[in-house]
């Protein structure tokens, strides 16, 4: 399996498909690179080099005991980009992966990056605090932690059957296959890794990272469903688009959180159009 080895010895698995301008895809929690398979295949078939990696602790990458935080995830991503010597990268982050790519830009700059796409992403800041009163209460994340410790397998099943793909909404019927894939990918993550990642995606403040993106004038596309029950659009997509000067917000009406699977063709088409526009 293709991997890069980080300075602390973690092996980061990646899939590298196609030829052309590079697009690097960062996945959500508790998933891995396969969650991008529809978009990766589409981009690679349409003139782009599409690269998707498994975050440390997830999928086929090393289940390290430490390093389950956004700074380390961003540094791992930087190591991957530098090892593959990628330039002119379009960074695409879904959910937690949106935090990973935002923190990469905040820590490592935009020198190798041509554009940014945030999809159902956790930035700017999910957690409700005194200076972020519109955020999500910590009790929501504590409940996910309790469920993960009590019965991780069932917790992932409940997320897949319910809010992640909108199956708890009238008229929404995500396929059994989509839901099973979420559960399988989740169970391939390390228990400690996935547990600590809950704090990483919920309690990390990405506002300074988005400010750095804005200051750099990096072309940015924000895509979010307006029925996202995991990262509400007001907390995620709209707030990010408002914070990044010049960002374009594309809203998928009635769409849930997991639009990589529920809206694969629409998302693939939107990603391709953006990648072509900034690569012209």
Q: Which residues are catalytic?
A: 95, 228, 257
Helices first, then strands: H and E counts in the chain: 10, 8
Q: From CA 174, how far away is CA 161, in angstroms rounded? A: 8
Farthest-apart Cα atoms in the chain, separation: 51
H or E segment to which residue 252 belongs: strand 248-252
Q: Residue 62: count other Cβ atoms within 10 Å of its Cβ.
A: 20
Q: Which pair of tokens denotes residue 181? A: 């894939």
Residue 118: name the closest of 210, 182, 56 by CA: 210
Q: Residue 206: count other Cβ atoms within 10 Å of its Cβ.
A: 28
Cβ atoms of residues 96 and 119 within 8 Å: no
């Amino acid at each position: 399996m293709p991997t890069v080895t980080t300075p602390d010895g973690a092996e980061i698995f990646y899939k590298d498909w196609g030829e052309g301008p590079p697009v690097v895809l960062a996945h959500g929690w508790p998933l891995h690179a396969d969650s991008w398979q529809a978009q990766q295949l589409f981009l690679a078939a349409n003139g782009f080099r599409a690269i998707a990696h498994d975050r440390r602790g997830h999928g086929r990458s090393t289940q390290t005991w430490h390093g389950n935080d956004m700074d380390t995830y961003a540094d791992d991503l930087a190591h991957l980009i530098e090892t593959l010597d990628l330039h002119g990268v379009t960074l695409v982050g879904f959910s937690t992966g949106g935090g990973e790519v935002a923190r990469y830009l905040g820590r490592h700059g935009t020198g190798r990056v041509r554009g940014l796409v945030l999809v159902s992403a956790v930035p700017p800041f999910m957690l409700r605090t005194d200076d972020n009163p519109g955020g999500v209460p910590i009790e929501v994340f504590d409940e996910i932690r309790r469920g993960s410790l009590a019965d991780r397998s069932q917790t992932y099943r409940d997320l897949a059957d319910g809010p992640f793909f909108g199956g708890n909404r009238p008229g929404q019927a995500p396929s059994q296959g989509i839901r099973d894939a979420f559960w399988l990918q989740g169970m391939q993550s390390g228990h400690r890794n996935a547990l600590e990642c809950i704090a990483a995606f919920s309690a990390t403040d990405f506002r300074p990272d988005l400010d750095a993106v804005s200051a750099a004038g990096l072309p940015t596309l924000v895509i979010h469903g307006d029925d996202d029950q995991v990262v509400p659009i007001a907390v995620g997509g709209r707030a990010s688009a408002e914070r990044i000067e010049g960002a374009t917000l594309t809203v998928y009406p009635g769409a849930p959180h997991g639009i990589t699977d529920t809206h694969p063709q629409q998302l693939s088409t939107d990603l391709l159009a953006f990648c072509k526009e900034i690569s012209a």
